[in-house]
Structure 1
Amino acid sequence: MDIIDSIILGIIQGLTEFLPVSSSGHLELGKAILGDQSVPKESLLFTVALHFATALSTIVVFRKDILEIIKGALKFQWDDNLQFILKIAVSMVPAIIVGLFFEKQLEQLFTSNILLVGCMLIITSLLLFLADKAKNTNRSVSFKNAFVIGISQAIAMLPGISRSGATISTSVLLGNDKTKAARFSFLMVVPLIFGKIGKDILSGDISTENQSFTALSIGFAAAFIAGLFACTWMIALVKKSKLTYFAFYCAIVGLIAIGFSLLN
């Protein structure tokens, strides 16, 4: 993998991890349009590095919140901080179950199934449109909400469903404050990313052979910087109810994908 490829992949990962456009869906579209051999197949090590970069960018953006939550939770008092951590844990349950028991079935869906991607992008578009029209409140995410949002995160494993779009939209439609919904959405995925990284490392499948550490470092930096930008921008967009632009984008790309699949 050359330097240009690593920069492009890093930027795509950093942006699509937070912007509600579905990174997996766009990858499948790219593979179908350009051909599998035309898309650089990054190693597992490179993939792990990019995911670590976006997780790190989330931690940097929410560093004050995370420190406050951890300090509060260490007091072992039943306060908002301890409850927030437990809500994050509850939200992880559906994704962990799907990941452990349906991993092979999910992998079979990532075979340039353009019709599925198109339909899922339309669903993402509808979710974003409805969330943008919802009235803002001061409500925080409850334990019941956390589990429901976790279900939407698990469903977002399907190619074409945006993880951030699905979780933020679900939270807002449940009547939660938009800024708090975005904050919860971005923080709830961090433990899952680190868990997946740990699983990949322990699996022994990661190889450093034929890997350019220059390209790896540059890809990491590109994903980290793009992640900082996208995470901060997305919070502002949700707060100002500007998700409709992404709703239209997903709808247009989804319709094009459906048309492309029907004509081929």
Structure 2
Amino acid sequence: MDIIDSIILGIIQGLTEFLPVSSSGHLELGKAILGDNSVPKESLLFTVVLHFATALSTLVIFRKDIYNIIKGILKFQWNDDLQFAVKIGISMIPAVIIGLLFEEELESLFSGNILLVGLMLLVTAALLFLADRAKDTQKPVSFANAFVIGISQAIAMLPGISRSGATISTSVLLGNDKTKAARFSFLMVVPLILGKIAKDILGGELTYEATNFMPLTIGFIAAFVSGLFACTWMISLVRKSKLTYFAVYCAIVGLIAIIYSFTS
């Protein structure tokens, strides 16, 4: 993998992890456009590095929230911070179950299945379109809401379903405040990303060569910086009900991907 490829894929990951357009779907499309040789055997390591970069950007943006959550857990008082941490834990349950039981089946979907990506992008577009028309309320995310949103996160393991799009849309459609919905959506994925990274490291599935250092570093920086921008921007967009633009984008890219899958 050369430097240009690592920058492109890093920016794609950083932007699409937070913007509701499916990071996994765009990475699959990016690999298809750049060619199979652009992401060789170190693909898993590169993917892990990019995901760690976006998780780190989330930690930076929400550092005050995370500090309060950790403080609430350590005090072990049933306050808003501890309740929020419990809700995060509840939201993780569906994704953890699906990830453990169907890991191989899910991985098989990430093999250049452009048709599936296109179809799932259309689903993402529909969710965003509906969410943008939902009435904004002041309702916080409840414990029951957290589990339902967690189901959306599990479904978003499919390439082409935007995780942020699915979780934020579900939260908004449940009547939650849009800003709180975005905050919950971005924070709920951090433990899953860090857990998956730990699993890959402990499982010995990652391989590293000295020649990978520069592309990995450049990709990490590109994903981290673009992630900081996208996360901040997305919070503003959700608050202002601007998701329709992304719905149109996902519909267009989805249709292009479907056409490409039949003509390539």
Q: TM-score, normalised by structure 2?
A: 0.94
Distance change in 2, residues 1:93/1:19 (3 Å): same
Distance (whole Å) between structure 2 residues aligned to residue 115 and residue 182 of structure 1: 29
Aligned to 1:261: 261
Query: Counterpart of 1:40?
Result: 39
Match of 1:158 in 2: 158
Structure 2 CA distance for partners of 1:4 and 1:257, relative to 1, 3 Å: closer
User: Which residue matches 1:182?
Assistant: 182
The one-letter code of the counterpart of 2:182 is A
Superposition deviation, residue 48 in structure 1: 1.9
Asked if residue 119 in structure 1 is aligned to residue 123 in structure 2, the reply is: no
Paired amino acid for 1:139: K
Structure 1 residue 27 displacement after superposition: 2.7
Alpha-carbon distance between aligned partners in 2 of 1:124 and 1:3, rounded to the nearest angstrom: 31
Structure 2 SS opposite 1:175: coil
Identity score, percent:
77
Counterpart of 1:73? 73
User: Per-residue deviation at 1:92?
Assistant: 0.4
Kept in 1: contact 2:118–2:257 (CA 8 A): yes
Write the distance in 1 (CA, Å) between the matches of 2:245 and 2:70.
36
Q: 1:35, 1:7 → 2: CA distance?
A: 15
Q: Secondary structure at the match of 2:140?
A: coil
Distance 2:226 2:33 in 1: 25
Partner of 2:54: 54
Deviation at 1:31, TM superposition (A): 4.0
How many pairs does the alignment contain? Answer: 263
* Off by >6 Å, runs of 4+ in structure 1: none
What amino acid does structure 1 have at the position aligned with 2:249? Y
Residue 262 (structure 1) shift: 3.9
Which residue of structure 2 aligns with residue 205 of structure 1?
A: 205
Distance 1:169 1:45 in 2: 31
Q: Deviations over 1:141-197 (max 9, x none)?
A: 011100000000000011110000000000000000000000000000000010001
Which residue does the alignment assign to 1:194?
A: 194
CA drift of 1:263 comes to 4.5
Whole-Å Cα distance in 2 between the matches of residues 11 and 140 of structure 1?
32
- Residues in 2 aligned to 1:29 and 1:209: alpha-carbon distance in whole angstroms: 26
Residues in 1 aligned to 2:10 and 2:163: alpha-carbon distance in whole angstroms: 18
Q: TM-score, normalised by structure 1?
A: 0.94
Q: Identify the residue that residue 147 of structure 2 maps to in structure 1.
A: 147
2:23 counterpart residue number: 23
Question: Is the CA contact (8 Å cut-off) linking 2:45 and 2:206 kept in structure 1?
Answer: yes
* Distance 1:244-1:231 versus aligned 2 partners, 3 A rule: same
Name the SS for the 1:236 alignment partner: helix
Q: Classify 1:219/1:262 alpha carbon distance in 2 versus 1 (closer, same or farther; 3 Å).
A: closer
Instruction: Provide the rounded CA distance (Å) in 2 between the counterparts of 1:122 and 1:9.
Output: 22
